[in-house]
Amino acid sequence: MSRLVVISNRVALPKDVRAGGLASAMQSALAETGGLWFGWSGRLVDEGERTLQRLGDGRVDFALLDLTREEYARYYLGFSNRTLWPLLHFRPSLLDYSRDDFAGYRSVNRLFAEHVARLLQPGDRVWVHDYHLIPLGAELRALGVDAQIGFFLHIPLPPRELLAILPHHEHVFSALAAYDLVGVQTSADLDALTRYFQVEYGATIADGQAVHLPDGRRFRAAAFPIGIDTGRVARAAERAANGAATRRLVTSLEHRRLAIGVDRLDYSKGLPQRFEAFGRFLSRHEEWRAKVSLLQIAPPSRSDVPEYRELRSRLERIAGATNGRYAEPDWVPIRYVNRSFNQATLAGFYRAADVGLVTPLRDGMNLVAKEFVAAQPADDPGVLVLSSLAGAARELTQAVLINPHDPDDIVDALREALAMPLHDRRERWSAMMDHLRRHDITYWRNTFLDALADT
């Protein structure tokens, strides 16, 4: 089988404790076929001190490239996370564009391409990941690379009218035509993609998937909803149920009920709305005061971006105000924890919770929703409350679906979830779990790579 070359902004090394579903899927794909994972080393260096670090165990190689501070500021903090991230999450008012950032984004993509091109061997298949690296395929083609190259976008793709807000958007999104296969999370993202190419370039679409441009370029586009390692999460949750961390959590609840949220601290995740709704729930349903807590785990991310720092202070204010208003000497409504936990510990926490609150304003998929379901015990499963604006809502239709912009919707859903009879909970959970077992992370990776091989 031909070698697989994976390229993403960051790589997950085998001993990386942050490694989630995607990391393990990539590691096992690379281990099966032999492979190379290329990405930023996470190190910032001065110009002239850049190194390409090579690590590996013979079967899987890692190539880690340093960036300069200037490149990090323009490519990563600037264009990737202050321009593309808000725009692709339907938040154009947060978009901050600068030509210098765009130039930095393009030059880091060119830099990646130059290093990757030197490492490629005949017959390699290349899989590029996410919005940081949209132009990478076109840069590789410009260097004469004719390998099969696939691209997967992990975050949403909004309609053409929003994409067209981006200055010089054609230089960014037309680069997708350089790939053999472009994968997105949902059919809505796929519709947005094909419509963009139709309207902007007069492309024709065959079979809903084959995009033909008038200049002769063609590529295939399809939806590949990402899954989780369902069996592994379920086993980890079962084991963790008797572990020290879960037992401490359960003991501290003193038989009270628990709702849980687990998210990177990001404005796309709807955290202020969730906190506000929890406060409104306690205000409206006095009978639940001192009977249920919200455990929100939210490790800070992208703290160098001002919008993320502002979000953090806002959440501290809301949590403080809600706790000040409703707390009792022996009970706190919102337990707000700003740190990471390993996947096994999280699985135990999910299992201990009665309700999973997943309320993003927009999300490509949302793996937490899937992990929460996979971690539940079959005989007494908790209830997932899920934003209809997350990609996961298209698959997990038995969740209690809400619109995160309507706090009353979250209030009603919480009440429904906390009161849901066992029979209903089991029925909903079985249907979702069945889906997650069949469409796990291995299924996702194989369907993408099979489709790439067919292009």
Q: Pick between residue 282 and residue 369 the one whose CB is nearest to ligand ADQ.
A: 369
- Cα–Cα distance, 203 to 59 (Å, whole number): 41
* Burial state string for 194-210 with b = 16 or more CB within 10 A and e = fewer than 16: bbbbeebbebebeeebb
Q: Which of 28, 98, 209, 340 binds ligand ADQ (CB under 6 A)?
A: 340
CB of 260 to ligand ADQ, least distance (A): 11
Burial class of residue 59, CB neighbours in 10 A (0-12, 13-18, 19+): exposed
CB of 201 to ligand ADQ, least distance (A): 27
Q: Which of 365, 373, 386, 402 binds ligand ADQ (CB under 6 A)?
A: 365
219 Cβ contact list (under 8 Å, min separation 6): 176, 177, 178, 179, 180, 181, 182, 210, 211, 455
Q: Which of 4, 11, 21, 296 binds ligand ADQ (CB under 6 A)?
A: 21
Q: How many beta carbons lie within 10 A of that of residue 123, not counting itself?
A: 10
299 is a site residue for ligand ADQ (CB under 6 A): yes
- Cα–Cα distance, 222 to 210 (Å, whole number): 9
Amino acid at 146: D
**Lookup result for tokens 């086993």:** 235
Q: Which of 297, 352, 373, 449 binds ligand ADQ (CB under 6 A)?
A: 297
**Alpha carbon distances (Å) from 106 to 38, 71, 183:** 17, 10, 21
φ, ψ of residue 88 in degrees (nearest 5): -75, -15
- Cα–Cα distance, 445 to 31 (Å, whole number): 13
Q: Pick between residue 3 and residue 132 the one whose CB is nearest to ligand ADQ.
A: 132
Contact yes or no for 112/136 (Cβ under 8 A): yes
Q: Pick between residue 346 and residue 383 the one whose CB is nearest to ligand ADQ.
A: 346
Q: Tell which positions 252-271 bind ligand ADQ, by CB under 6 A.
A: 262-264
366 is a site residue for ligand ADQ (CB under 6 A): yes
Q: Pick between residue 235 and residue 264 the one whose CB is nearest to ligand ADQ.
A: 264
Marked catalytic residue, from 101, 124, 263, 363? 363
CB of 362 to ligand ADQ, least distance (A): 9
| Catalytic residue list contains 412 | no
Contact yes or no for 186/394 (Cβ under 8 A): yes
Q: Tell which positions 377-436 bind ligand ADQ, by CB under 6 A.
A: none
Q: Which of 367, 374, 417, 452 binds ligand ADQ (CB under 6 A)?
A: 367
Kindly state the tokens that stand for 326.
């409703």
Q: Residues in contact with ligand ADQ, total (CB under 6 A)?
A: 21
CB of 393 to ligand ADQ, least distance (A): 12
Q: Pick between residue 187 and residue 340 the one whose CB is nearest to ligand ADQ.
A: 340
Contact yes or no for 211/181 (Cβ under 8 A): no
Q: Pick between residue 63 and residue 369 the one whose CB is nearest to ligand ADQ.
A: 369
Q: How many beta carbons lie within 10 A of that of residue 151, not counting itself?
A: 26
Rg (CA), the chain: 22
204 is a site residue for ligand ADQ (CB under 6 A): no
Q: Which of 90, 331, 341, 443 binds ligand ADQ (CB under 6 A)?
A: 341
| Catalytic residue list contains 363 | yes
Q: Pick between residue 147 and residue 158 the one whose CB is nearest to ligand ADQ.
A: 158
355 is a site residue for ligand ADQ (CB under 6 A): no
Q: Pick between residue 22 and residue 222 the one whose CB is nearest to ligand ADQ.
A: 22
Marked catalytic residue, from 89, 129, 132, 154? 154
Q: Tell which positions 110-169 bind ligand ADQ, by CB under 6 A.
A: 154-155
Q: Which of 126, 177, 226, 396 binds ligand ADQ (CB under 6 A)?
A: 226
With CB under 6 A as the contact rule, which of the stretches 75-83, 117-125, 273-281, 364-372 interacts with ligand ADQ?
364-372
Looking at the chain, how many residues does it have? Answer: 455
Q: Which of 2, 13, 14, 20 binds ligand ADQ (CB under 6 A)?
A: 20
Residues 359, 360, 363: CA angle, nearest 5 degrees: 135
**Alpha carbon distances (Å) from 454 to 8, 220, 439, 449, 451:** 23, 10, 20, 9, 5
171 is a site residue for ligand ADQ (CB under 6 A): no
Closest CA to 257 of 225, 220, 294: 294
Residues 206, 209, 210: CA angle, nearest 5 degrees: 55
CB of 13 to ligand ADQ, least distance (A): 16
**Lookup result for tokens 């202070």:** 313
The residues of the shown chain that bind ligand ADQ, judged by CB under 6 A, are: 20-22, 154-155, 226, 262-264, 297, 299, 340-341, 346, 363-368, 371
Instruction: Name the residues annotated as catalytic.
Output: 154, 363
